[in-house]
Amino acid sequence: MTAQQTELQDLPLDLKPELLPKHVAVIMDGNGRWAKRQGLPRIMGHKAGVDALKNLLRCCDDWGIEALTAYAFSTENWGRPHEEVDFLMTLFQRVLRQELREMMEENVQMKFVGNLSALPRPLQAEISHSMEQTRNNRGIKFTVATNYGGRQEILQACRTIAHKAQQGLLQPDEIDEATFERHLYTQGICDPDLLIRTSGEMRVSNFLLWQIAYAEIYITEALWPDFNRNEFHRALAAYQQRNRRFGKV
C-alpha cells in the first residue's frame, strides 16, 4: 500500500480521489439555533461548533483535501451582544492554546486572515504564536477567517495598490488579477473549489467574495454542530456530480 493509499484509506468508496476539491471553505452557521433546540445557552452552541470544526479538519486531512478555510468571526459579528462577543474572543484564545500541540503533531499549517489588529491583544498574541509555530508544517493548510469581511478585504487591497501607484511603485497597466490577489489577506492560498454553508441559508455573507468566483456552492439544512463526516460525505458527493466549466462550454 502506498503512502497516498494509506492516507486515503477512510475515503468513502463512492468518492473519487482525483475529483476531490483541493480547497474547501465553510460558513459555519447555526450554532445559536442548535443550542436553542437543545435548550442550552447560545455559548454552548459555539463550544459544540468548535468540536465540529476540529472533526472536519481531521476528516479533510484523512481524505486528502489540501486546504480548509473556516469563517469564524465576521466584521459584522461585532454587532452581537457584548457577552457573546467576549465569550467568543476568550473561546478562540483558549482553543488556540489547547489545540496547538495537536496541530503540530498532525502537521497542520495554520493561518489567520482578516483585520487581526482589531482583536484583543491576548488573542492577537495567541494567533501570532500559532502561525509562527506551524508555518513550516507541510500538512493540511488550515485558514481561519477572523474579523473578516470580503468587501473590507477588497477595499484594503485597492487602497494599498492605489498608494503604490501614487508613489510610482506600480503602473496602472501593471495591475492584473495576480497583482490584486497578492494584496488580499489570502495571498498564497489557492481559491476554494467548494463552499459549504450550513443551516440552509442561501447567501455568502461577505465571505471570500473575490476568491469564490468559481467555487461550487453546497447548502445543507444541517446546523453547524451537527455537520459530521456523513454530512461532509454528502457535500463531496454532490460536488463530484458538478460539471465545472469555468465559463467554457
Q: What residues are labeled active site?
A: 29, 77
Phi and psi torsions of 24, nearest 5°: -110, 135
107: left (phi over 0), alpha (psi -120 to 50) or beta: left
Pairing mode of beta strands 67-74, 23-27: parallel
Closest by alpha carbon to 96, among 108, 83, 81?
108
- Residue 168 one-letter amino acid: G
Three-state DSSP class for residue 23: strand
* Cβ atoms of residues 162 and 89 within 8 Å: no
Compute the distance between CA of residue 132 and CA of residue 126 in angstroms, rounded to an integer: 10
- DSSP string for residues in 101-128: HHHHHTTPEEEEES-GGGS-HHHHHHHH
Residue 232: closest CA among 62, 100, 112: 62
∠ CA 186-192-193, nearest 5°, is: 165
